[in-house]
């Protein structure tokens, strides 16, 4: 009797396992059910199946096949991008624009590796009867579209802000910092291109207005023009140690920058980014009184180093006279007079 009960229990157990195994098998493992539940007009999908490899655990096989399914989803987007990309870049061809265009164009190949917002991965299913593991990933086209429309606007707005700041810095003579702002705008344009490519993949009939193509091209053109203009600037780093009657001063440095800016130079606080390094030491001394006015002299030493050629191109020492009723102001006048003298001496070497 006991043996009969045990046999009946085993039969019921096997039947129950088979029944629930069949019931629990996800519908997406069937090709027809996948198309019905995740139609290609609404979803990008990636599906794969396979067996456990030798020496591999079931869990490891599940994760491997899930990654394959996600990769197939990304590839389906990539192939659609290649077929339907409608984004056009401006045709300007300067050395700088070719570099920027190359960076932006490269995003076509990497767009599918960008964040796929809203991607869902089903729990891999192991069919114990056949030993096959099924893996499936999908993303709703409309959710993906909404994400990249928002990203497109955000990145364009940020890039516009960077270029506006760059323009303000250039107008203020801070061309090195302006150049940094322009460089920071380039990766934003790459992200814009990625969003536009993905949006085109989702809907090949999407309008140029929705893709904000005119705004993008205007921004790209502006960036190219600013980059080309800033590339022509000569960057100078000024290092000056000044003392007016033993008090710290920056008179020569400030006046020299103003004089060199009039000659088309720009300035950087980072010596590593400079084309030329100017070093100045200056001290003022009381000389005497002439016709009731105080006379001071500024003793100045100046050197100019050409970073691009890696050599010193100019060195000189001179004294500049300053006259006023007070010693401090007479010393300041001497320093002020030294600045244009330095500018005249070093300008022929700066090109």
Fold of domain 142-231: Methane Monooxygenase Hydroxylase; Chain G, domain 1 (1.20.58)
Which distant-in-sequence residues (6+ apart) come within 8 Å of 216 by Cβ?
Answer: 87, 156, 189, 192, 196
Averaged pLDDT for residues 205-213: 91
pLDDT tops 60 at residue 197: yes
Q: Measured between alpha carbons, how far apart are the two ends of the chain, in Å?
A: 107
pLDDT tops 70 at residue 97: no
The predicted model scores a pTM of 0.53
- Domain 234-349 CATH (choose: 3.40.50.300, 3.20.20.70, 3.30.70.80, 3.30.160.150): 3.30.160.150
Averaged pLDDT for residues 230-256: 91
Q: What pLDDT, in 10s, does the model give residues 287-322?
A: 999 999 999 999 999 999 998 788 999 999 999 999
Q: What pLDDT, in 10s, does the model give residues 143-154?
A: 888 888 999 999
Give the Cα separation of 251 and 244 in Å (integer): 9
The pLDDT-based confidence of 173 (bands split at 50, 70, 90) is low
Give the Cα separation of 252 and 335 in Å (integer): 6
The pLDDT-based confidence of 1 (bands split at 50, 70, 90) is low
Q: What pLDDT, in 10s, does the model give residues 17-46?
A: 444 444 489 999 999 999 999 998 899 999
The pLDDT-based confidence of 262 (bands split at 50, 70, 90) is confident
- The number of angstroms, rounded, from the C-alpha of 31 to the middle of its chain's C-alpha atoms is 42
Domain ranges of the chain: 142-231, 234-349
Dihedral sign for Cα 223, 208, 194, 84, please.
negative
What is the Cα gyration radius of the chain? Answer: 35
The pLDDT-based confidence of 133 (bands split at 50, 70, 90) is very high
The pLDDT-based confidence of 261 (bands split at 50, 70, 90) is confident
Give the pLDDT confidence score for residue 19 in this predicted structure. 43
- The number of angstroms, rounded, from the C-alpha of 139 to the middle of its chain's C-alpha atoms is 27
Which distant-in-sequence residues (6+ apart) come within 8 Å of 317 by Cβ?
Answer: 299, 300, 301, 302
The candidate with the shortest Cα–Cα distance to 324, out of 283, 292, 285, is: 292
């Amino acid at each position: 009797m006991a043996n009969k009960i045990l046999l009946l229990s085993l039969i019921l157990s096997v039947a129950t396992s088979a029944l629930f195994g069949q019931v629990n098998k996800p519908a997406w493992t069937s090709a027809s059910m996948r198309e019905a539940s995740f139609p290609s007009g609404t979803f990008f999908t990636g599906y794969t199946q396979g067996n456990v490899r030798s020496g591999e655990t079931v869990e490891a096989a599940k994760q491997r096949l899930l990654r394959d399914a996600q990769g197939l989803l990304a590839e389906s987007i990539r192939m659609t991008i290649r077929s339907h990309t409608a984004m056009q870049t401006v045709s300007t061809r300067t050395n700088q624009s070719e570099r920027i265009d190359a960076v932006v164009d490269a995003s076509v190949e990497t767009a599918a590796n960008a964040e796929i917002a809203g991607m869902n991965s089903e729990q891999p299913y192991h069919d114990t009867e056949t030993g096959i593991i099924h893996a499936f990933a999908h993303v709703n086209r409309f959710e993906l579209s909404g994400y990249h429309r928002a990203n497109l606007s955000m990145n364009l707005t940020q890039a516009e802000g960077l270029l506006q700041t760059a323009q303000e810095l250039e107008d203020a003579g801070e061309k090195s910092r302006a150049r940094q702002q322009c460089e920071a705008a380039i990766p934003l344009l790459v992200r814009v291109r990625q969003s536009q490519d993905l949006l085109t993949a989702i809907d090949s009939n999407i309008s140029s207005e929705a893709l904000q193509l005119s705004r993008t091209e205007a921004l790209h053109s502006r960036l190219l023009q600013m980059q080309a203009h800033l590339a022509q600037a000569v960057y100078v780093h000024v290092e000056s140690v000044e003392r007016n009657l033993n008090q710290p001063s920056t008179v020569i440095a400030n006046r020299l920058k103003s004089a060199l800016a009039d000659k088309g130079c720009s300035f950087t606080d980072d010596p590593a980014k400079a084309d030329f390094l100017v070093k100045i030491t200056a001290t003022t001394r009381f000389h005497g009184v002439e016709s009731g006015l105080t006379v001071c002299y500024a003793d100045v030493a100046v050197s100019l180093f050409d970073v691009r050629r890696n050599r010193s191109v100019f060195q000189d020492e001179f004294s500049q006279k300053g006259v006023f009723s007070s010693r401090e102001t007479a010393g300041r006048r001497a320093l002020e007079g030294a600045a244009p003298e330095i500018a005249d001496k070093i300008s022929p070497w700066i090109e």
